[in-house]
Structure 1
Amino acid sequence: MAENAARVVTFLLPPAAAVLLDETDWSVLDHAYGPAVGYPLPPYSSEDPIPDLPDLLRQLSASDPAVRADTLGHVCALAFHQSSFYGVSAVVGRYLAAILDDPRSGESDGAQPSLRVKIIHCLRDFAEDAAWGEHDSPGYSYPELEAFRVIRPELYAAVARYLDDPDAETRDAARAARVPLLETPTLADERNAATVELRGVLADATDRHERATAVLTIGVAWRQDTSACLKDSDPAIRALAALAPACAENPDATRVLLAALANPVAADGWFVRPLPKIRHRYVAGTLFEAAVERTASIDELLPAAVAVLPHLQGQVSFGDYGVGGASRLLSLVPEGVPEHEHELTPDQDAVLTALAASSLWVWGPSRETLPRIKAEDLPHMLNDVHLNEHLDRRSTHPRPGGYSPEPPWLS
């Protein structure tokens, strides 16, 4: 930030943003690393000083687009570090919403998204973090989190102006942000109206991405029934509709998931733009996680597992989608893991071969080259010497030094 400061030229701030800067008592607020203003450094510290947060926020209206983009990253790291909320989080959220309409926020060189798109993505991420546990664990709360939850209607009003923006990237970002923002209990009327609108999109639209966004929003995010889409003419829409929690007990939905997983390469090629509730566009991994939770026997799941696990090789964010799936997959093998290779059943052999070929058992370049399967994901199995030996023999990326009976993260 220091090297950029000399070339920053700020413009007149949008009125709502200027009011927030002037009327907020920054001296009583903190961010992830300390006080919002006057951040102290120990004597002789080699660290760069952290600028006062109000100064950083002003730089979001700098004349240099590179400074604006760089500043947004710094602001979000301070105000929403590791999905946590701080004293400044609600004010920063309101400030970002207040500068969305600034014409400079909409400028783009064509190579990078505009600042407006990046801000909307940030607001979406913050809203998802704020909604976590709100329905399933209603007791989960703390004052800084509640302060952010309260402002979600204000954030939604700012984002909603771009739901039909002529720029596709901005429009996609706004529609994705609408998903967690409308999970706000006080916005139930707006959510109901949006549901009616999105069902119309499903019925009338021809654009696959637009219809996929609609079915994921209605079914996965807002937990409504999408079973009518299980017979859609588009296999992508059928599969995404099957992900809805309301379809969890529907055998037709499970069959749709397994059919899609027969060709995971095709599933991951359905979309090139981000979708709500599908992180990093890993469609196959998301379908697989749902399938393993809904199948009751290894016979039913095995063909899909053998197809999809090797395909997921190298997807570094796969843990959210497949690690639990591998645990469930192994748990469906009722006999346990025998000591000798010749004692493996054909199902066990197929499961272990697919698992060893996937990224789940690759030792990566991180600190202690930990495997991606964690202890809690394979209860009673990870420390089984036979399982580890079978996987090591099959893996094309054996772990350094062979099998260690006590994984490093347990020591």
Structure 2
Amino acid sequence: MLTAPDILRDTDWDRTFHAYGSAADAPEKLAALLQDGPDALSKGMDYFHSAILHQGSVCPATPPAALFVAALLDDLVQGRWEPKGADDAEERRLALLNTLRDVAEAATVDEPDAELAELARLSEAERREVLDAVLADDEVWEEPALEALMWQVLIDLRAAAPTLLDAVRPLLTHTEPATRQRAVEAVSAIACLGRLEVDLSGAVGLVESRDEKAAIVLALGEQGHDVSEYLVHDDPAIRACAALAPSRKDDPAATRALVAALADPQEADRWFTVSPARFRGRVRFTLVHALADRSVPADAERLLPVFRTMAALATPLTAEADCAPLLRLAFPREEDGGAWTGTPSDVQRAYLAALVGNDDLWTGTVANFSVTLWWLGLPMGREGLRALVEG
């Protein structure tokens, strides 16, 4: 594997671009990651996640930048580069692992190699033309040739997956539990990106906590392994993690595990010390989204108790994550795609009553949730919802 300085030096950054245009600034900005101190790490990571992986989207500069991060991690693991303190080294390992996981998740698509190649098909002249236009800051963002160039990014990252995996794999058996956990998550995401097989047995043998166990069960599920045995685990957190596996989407036992976990969503939020990366924000947000995703409008009545519990916890800041997933089930859009219209049923009134009854929910602006209410064809304010409840 090339070293991190090699990649910075040898990549033709002037002929690629990121979210803000030419990536000619990448060597200087990414070089911050080669320096000691938390400020340098923060600057390098801020640049990566704003320009190279802008809002979770990849760009032509992402593949070489990801390979740079992998090389930096490998240099750290192999002792070719050592930060001054142990705490700094741990912070860097975690930041680099999280970044590689984020890149892999952003670049993972279902299309087979042949289909990706067809989507990315461009003549060399077309490729130069669109690249020149982007670097010149011309308006080309809707050009089909640019879209093909972006598909090529996914091909390049899929091809880079084995190299990224090689950098992360040694950390599966690291002495620090947090590093092992983040390595498991990064390895799983990279394996999904490159359609690779990975062996997690080393990490399994070193598990010390619920956090690590949960991360491994989630990783096994992401990779398509049979995790049904964990649906009967003694720990409700492990049962819920097994239930999140894509292969368990149609499994009634998995659905029951999610419903059981959401009987006390505040307890679910306290499950982990180092929350697995699968849980964005509070744990209950992921659980209720998964439950809604594997349910249909006919399940709304059965899931009313869950909704009542979630609605009772909701605040202006959390209402969209807490309430919107199941509310969309209760008020499905019309067959032609239009918003719900008509007189609410008893079940629908019960859903709305749960929202109206929470005083805390209406103490401030529920901006995102208001948009959901509008999209569903419902009043955007408490009094309008109350009128529907009272009929």
TM-score by length of 1: 0.71
Measure, in 2, the Cα distance between the counterparts of 1:173 and 1:257. 24
Contact kept? 1:289, 1:322, Cα under 8 Å: no
The alpha carbon displacement at 1:174 in A equals 1.3
Cα 1:321/1:107, change in 2 over 3 Å: farther
SS at match of 1:372: helix
Question: Structure 1: 5+ residue runs without aligned partners?
Answer: 1-13, 38-51, 396-411
What does 1:225-374 correspond to in 2, within 5 Å? 225-280=226-281, 282-292=282-292, 293-294=294-295, 296-313=298-315, 316=318, 319=320, 322-331=323-332, 346-356=346-356, 370-374=367-371
Measure, in 1, the Cα distance between the counterparts of 2:380 and 2:362. 18
Measure, in 2, the Cα distance between the counterparts of 1:360 and 1:240. 30
Measure, in 2, the Cα distance between the counterparts of 1:134 and 1:272. 36
The alpha carbon displacement at 1:255 in A equals 2.0
Measure, in 1, the Cα distance between the counterparts of 2:358 and 2:186. 32
Contact kept? 1:352, 1:390, Cα under 8 Å: no
Measure, in 1, the Cα distance between the counterparts of 2:361 and 2:370. 7
* Aligned pair partner of 1:34 in 18, 21, 36: 21
In structure 2, the partner of 1:43 is none
What does 1:82-161 correspond to in 2, within 5 Å? 82-100=55-73, 101-102=75-76, 103-105=81-83, 107=85, 109=87, 114-134=91-111, 142-161=151-170
The alpha carbon displacement at 1:93 in A equals 0.8
Higher fraction of helix: 2
Cα 1:63/1:238, change in 2 over 3 Å: closer
1:187 paired with 2:196, answer yes
Contact kept? 2:33, 2:41, Cα under 8 Å: yes
Measure, in 1, the Cα distance between the counterparts of 2:42 and 2:380. 51
Question: Structure 2: 5+ residue runs without aligned partners?
Answer: 120-149, 334-339
In structure 2, the partner of 1:211 is 213
Q: Deviations over 1:189-238 (max 9, x none)?
A: x2xx33x667x66xx9563222211221112x223332222221112212
Contact kept? 2:31, 2:44, Cα under 8 Å: no
Higher RCO (CA 8 Å, separation ≥ 6 residues) = 2
Measure, in 1, the Cα distance between the counterparts of 2:317 and 2:63. 34
Instruction: Let me know the Cα RMSD of the aligned residues.
Output: 3.7
Cα 1:322/1:348, change in 2 over 3 Å: closer
Measure, in 2, the Cα distance between the counterparts of 1:159 and 1:125. 13
Contact kept? 1:306, 1:354, Cα under 8 Å: yes
The alpha carbon displacement at 1:156 in A equals 1.2
In structure 2, the partner of 1:55 is 28
The alpha carbon displacement at 1:79 in A equals 1.5
In structure 2, the partner of 1:391 is 385
The alpha carbon displacement at 1:394 in A equals 9.8
In structure 1, the partner of 2:127 is none
Measure, in 2, the Cα distance between the counterparts of 1:314 and 1:265. 17
Cα 1:245/1:61, change in 2 over 3 Å: closer
Once the two structures are overlaid, the 10-residue window that deviates more, 74-83 or 117-126, is 74-83
TM-score by length of 2: 0.74
Contact kept? 1:79, 1:86, Cα under 8 Å: yes
1:164 paired with 2:173, answer yes
Measure, in 2, the Cα distance between the counterparts of 1:387 and 1:55. 50
Contact kept? 2:101, 2:186, Cα under 8 Å: yes
SS at match of 2:155: helix
Measure, in 1, the Cα distance between the counterparts of 2:359 and 2:238. 27
Measure, in 2, the Cα distance between the counterparts of 1:148 and 1:69. 24
The alpha carbon displacement at 1:58 in A equals 2.3
Cα 1:364/1:187, change in 2 over 3 Å: farther
Measure, in 2, the Cα distance between the counterparts of 1:143 and 1:248. 31
Contact kept? 1:87, 1:144, Cα under 8 Å: yes
- Residue identity in the other structure for 2:187: R
